[in-house]
């Protein structure tokens, strides 16, 4: 018989102290809770908790330590119309499990009802088919690890998938490819450093599940937006083969990235779980306390409110759900040393009732938390519910994926009319979205592509999505891609491919020289293609992985991206902390404005110029002597001044260099000339040709 002591109700989860492990589980619905321990032969031993305080069932097991596999069986009411789904036949994952072993094996036993009879109760034992929670050793030698704490305005984000980025890298040892260890390998770190990356944003690494319907189609949930454990690093990304080894490997990855001054940001999914809708499996929270964890339909609580498009939504008005999310976030910062979070479908986190409330309990909690208020907080500011598109509406200290930036930049370079006024706002940090909230340009996370949608290569190669491989008759994925294939769908002639390369350079140049925080999607700098698939969420294969063998073919694009990153890093005029004033600024030698908008003739833009629908070209003067902000040591920043010549027209346009903004100019970047740059000094009053669909960047000398 296993010895059990009373233990403590806090902290929740399994906590090893060097002599034994304390187990604690919250459930208001339970009448009895059994802790289930599994030995090496998978034999199950059940221990009934006798202690319950504040609906937390708990016990301490001396001698039980790291590597112990466990789960829970919760005895209580089963009455789906009232939102009650307890069933002791279902082995349940601990919501606070720090590590998970195994995956779901899809069988009728993992469901709370019998197939074809959704109102029935299924008493088949699920233990054989579900993963196990693992007790971990929390101790790790962090040494002198410190967070890089890179200021937002100096940040460059690289969005990446742990497996997709590394699985095909020929210089990484094969045994660690596709894992946390590979992300921390010098080959990846050197690549990121050369791109000027200061933060890697990892797509979901919380333990997740591949949906039953995908498994039946022979596919997987590759992206990982289907969490079942908010404290556990996904076990499939571990190379150790040791029980709970994913935790140590993740920490080692973070430590290696920090040594290279690269922050780690996690893409987190706190809006729903892998248990799906009323026809989904019973894996964890549904069987522990369904009504407390999930938003249910008031008129019939067997059904779930769904603002995520995934079947369920966590009940953000529940103090226990809020506690779990806050505990999870603090755990990843304090114990795992991550530097920030990007919140998937963040509008769902703000929903108190049906509408999005910017001052919801969740944001209040984060704002006052001494740990979380100090890390990077990035919102994906939309969900699928009513009123869910909330770009520009998140609280102070939050930044946002700026979907308006993405759409506007795409529109300009594909030749849409009347794009210039919107383009000007996005280029300068989207003050129309953020300035009224006393936020700064860095509130805008600028991106042209991300995991969701076309890659950069496909953005210039396809007018339409080609998602047939997903098995949904090409119905999935967005239809509004705002892409342009440059004249031919898919692989094309040399002339079209040359134009596509120039378009990619246009997008990257615009991105790196915009105010705000640039984010690039992994592999875009290497010409990664998904062959027109804009929704590779289920494609864990060559279609979605980065192809490092193309690095020679794409070395021009890679080198060009590195040059852009260096230009941005060297010149604070491209990463201002404050918005432009748009008027003469004291301290500038010529008493010039900090920014000026000019026509190709070199004259200031008038209202009429802005409103010419067919206009696709303009010049932007950035005054490096009028940044009007100190650096971190309080010293006034003075930089070079630049002219950015944008020509989204299809033909060459000659730009007249204005006489009032400088006498001599030198070309730093020309997207029409990826290798050689015109080293000739250009003088005020001269006409400088800018090739059709290109950008030319001039520095005042």
**Coil vs helix vs strand at 442:** helix
User: Is 678 a known active-site residue?
Assistant: no
Instruction: Please count the other Cβ atoms lying within 10 Å of the Cβ belonging to residue 471.
Output: 15
Instruction: Please count the other Cβ atoms lying within 10 Å of the Cβ belonging to residue 578.
Output: 17
Q: Find the catalytic residue in 249, 275, 380, 540.
A: 380
Quick one: DSSP state of residue 635?
P
Q: Which residues of 167-190 are buried (b: 16+ CB within 10 A; e: fewer)?
A: bbbeebeeebbbbbbbbbbeebbe
CA distance 225 to 208: 7
Instruction: Please count the other Cβ atoms lying within 10 Å of the Cβ belonging to residue 239.
Output: 17
* Dihedral pair phi/psi, residue 197, rounded to 5°: -70, 130
| Dihedral (Cα; 329, 332, 333, 335), 10-degree rounding | 130
CA distance 316 to 244: 30
User: Which residues, at least 6 apart from 174, have a Cβ–Cβ distance to it below 8 Å?
Assistant: none
Q: Which residues of 286-324 are buried (b: 16+ CB within 10 A; e: fewer)?
A: bbbbbbbbbbbeeeebbbbbbbbebbbbbbbebebbbeb
* Dihedral pair phi/psi, residue 354, rounded to 5°: -105, -25
User: Do 178 and 166 touch, CB atoms closer than 8 A?
Assistant: yes
Q: Which residues pair with 25 in a beta bridge?
A: 57
Q: CA distances (Å), 322 to each of 25, 135, 319, in order?
A: 15, 23, 5
Which strand (E) or helix (H) includes residue 424? helix 420-427
Q: Helices 494-512 & 555-570, crossing angle to 10 degrees?
A: 20
**Coil vs helix vs strand at 170:** coil
Which strand (E) or helix (H) includes residue 247? helix 245-259
Q: Find the catalytic residue in 34, 249, 275, 344.
A: 344
Closest CA to 381 of 407, 361, 364, 403: 403
Q: Which residues pair with 100 in a beta bridge?
A: 133
CA distance 559 to 346: 35
Quick one: DSSP state of residue 5?
B
Which strand (E) or helix (H) includes residue 257? helix 245-259
Q: Helices 319-334 & 361-368, crossing angle to 10 degrees?
A: 30
User: Is 476 a known active-site residue?
Assistant: no
User: Do 621 and 658 touch, CB atoms closer than 8 A?
Assistant: yes
Residues assigned a catalytic role: 344, 380
């Amino acid at each position: 018989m296993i010895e059990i002591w009373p233990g403590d109700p806090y902290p929740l989860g399994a906590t090893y102290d060097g002599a034994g492990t304390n187990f604690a589980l919250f459930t208001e619905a339970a009448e009895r809770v059994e802790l289930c321990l599994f030995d090496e032969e998978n034999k199950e031993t059940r221990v009934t908790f006798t202690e319950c305080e504040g609906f937390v069932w708990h016990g301490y097991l001396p001698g039980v330590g790291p590597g112990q596999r466990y789960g829970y069986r919760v005895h209580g009411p089963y009455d789906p119309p009232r939102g009650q789904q307890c069933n002791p036949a279902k082995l349940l994952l601990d919501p606070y499990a720090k590590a998970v072993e195994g995956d779901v094996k899809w069988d009728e036993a993992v469901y709370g009802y019998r197939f074809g009879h959704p109102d029935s109760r299924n008493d088949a034992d699920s233990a054989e088919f579900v993963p196990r929670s693992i007790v971990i050793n929390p101790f790790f030698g962090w040494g002198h690890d410190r967070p890089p704490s890179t200021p937002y305005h100096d940040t460059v984000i690289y969005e990446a998938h742990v497996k997709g980025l590394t699985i095909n890298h020929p210089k990484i040892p094969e045994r660690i490819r596709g894992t946390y260890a590979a992300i921390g390998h010098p080959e990846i770190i050197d690549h990121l450093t050369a791109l000027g990356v200061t933060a890697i944003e990892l797509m979901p690494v919380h333990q997740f599940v591949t949906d039953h319907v995908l498994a039946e189609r022979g596919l997987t949930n590759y992206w990982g937006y289907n969490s079942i454990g908010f404290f556990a690093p996904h076990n499939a990304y571990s190379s150790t083969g040791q029980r709970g080894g994913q935790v140590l490997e993740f920490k080692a990855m973070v430590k290696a990235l920090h040594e290279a001054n690269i922050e780690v940001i996690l893409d987190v999914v706190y809006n729903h779980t892998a248990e799906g809708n009323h026809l989904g499996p019973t894996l964890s929270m549904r069987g522990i306390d369904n009504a407390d964890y999930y938003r249910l339909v008031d008129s019939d609580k067997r059904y779930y409110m769904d603002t995520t498009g995934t079947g369920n939504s966590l009940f953000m008005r529940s103090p226990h759900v809020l506690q779990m999310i806050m505990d999870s976030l603090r755990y990843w910062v304090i114990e795992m040393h991550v530097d920030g979070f990007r919140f998937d479908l963040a509008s769902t986190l703000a929903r108190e009732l049906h509408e999005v409330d910017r001052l919801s309990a969740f944001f209040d909690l984060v704002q006052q938390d001494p740990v979380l208020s100090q890390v990077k907080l990035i919102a994906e500011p939309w969900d699928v519910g009513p009123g869910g598109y909330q770009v520009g509406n998140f609280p102070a200290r939050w930044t946002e994926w700026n979907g308006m930036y993405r759409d506007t930049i795409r529109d300009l370079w594909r030749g849409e009319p009347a794009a210039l006024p919107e383009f000007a706002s996005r280029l300068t940090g989207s003050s129309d979205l953020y300035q009224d909230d006393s936020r700064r340009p860095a509130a805008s996370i600028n991106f042209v592509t991300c995991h969701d949608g076309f890659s950069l290569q496909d953005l210039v190669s396809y007018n339409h999505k080609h998602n047939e491989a997903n098995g949904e008759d090409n119905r999935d994925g967005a239809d509004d891609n705002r892409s342009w294939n440059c004249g031919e769908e898919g692989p094309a002639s040399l002339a079209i491919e040359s134009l596509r390369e120039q378009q990619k350079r246009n997008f990257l140049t615009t991105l790196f020289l915009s105010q705000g925080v640039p984010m690039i999607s992994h592999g875009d700098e290497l010409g990664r293609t998904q062959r027109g698939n804009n929704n590779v969420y289920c494609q864990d294969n060559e279609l979605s992985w980065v192809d490092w063998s193309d690095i020679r073919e794409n070395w021009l694009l890679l080198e060009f991206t590195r040059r852009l990153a260096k230009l941005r890093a060297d010149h604070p005029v491209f990463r201002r902390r404050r918005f432009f004033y748009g008027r003469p600024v004291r301290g500038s030698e010529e008493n010039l404005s900090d920014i000026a908008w000019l026509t190709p003739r070199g004259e200031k833009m008038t209202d009429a110029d802005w409103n010419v629908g067919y206009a696709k070209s303009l010049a932007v003067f950035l005054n490096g002597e009028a940044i009007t902000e100190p650096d971190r040591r309080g010293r006034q920043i003075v930089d070079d001044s630049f002219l950015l010549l944008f020509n989204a027209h299809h033909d060459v346009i000659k730009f007249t260099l204005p006489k009032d903004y400088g006498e001599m100019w030198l070309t730093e970047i020309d997207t029409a000339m990826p290798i050689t740059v015109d080293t000739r000094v250009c003088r005020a009053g001269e006409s400088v040709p800018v090739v059709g669909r290109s950008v030319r960047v001039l520095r005042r000398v």
